[in-house]
Amino acid sequence: MPITSADLNSFAGNWNTTWTGGNAGSALVTIEARGPAGTGKFDRKSGTMEGAFSDGDKTFKGTWRQSDASGTFTFILQGSDKFQGTYSFDSGGTGGGEWNGTRAGK
């Protein structure tokens, strides 16, 4: 089902996330929106993220870092309370996988 303007919602807030790949896991991600840019943190190895919103704020794309690895991510909203995404490694690992989330408290 396509996303309509009624479904659009900011990425800002807390997200329960899971990811696949060699180090599959989960983390609470907190995203702050500041105009076309965003920052975030996640509760795994001092994780941080920064990126930009596009496509009517339906996409959040950027870089992530934690104490022993870093890479890139892309999250795409699926309605207001769910996103589907991917991640890859630049350093500290190989491969990547899916990184998906649901809005915390929903």
pLDDT digits (tens, 9 = 90+) for 97-106: 999 999 998 7
Contact 90/104 with Cβ under 8 angstroms? no
Q: Where are the domains of the chain?
A: 17-103
**What are 52's two structure tokens?**
């930009």
Residue 5 DSSP SS3: helix
- Res 80: pLDDT: 85
Mean pLDDT per 10-residue segment, the chain (106 residues): 43 94 89 90 93 91 94 94 94 85 90
Q: How many CB atoms lie within 10 A of CB 39?
A: 14
- Res 105: pLDDT: 86
Whole-number Å distance between alpha carbons of 42 and 87: 14
Instruction: Kindly report the pTM of this predicted structure.
Output: 0.86
Contact 49/39 with Cβ under 8 angstroms? yes
- Res 87: pLDDT: 95
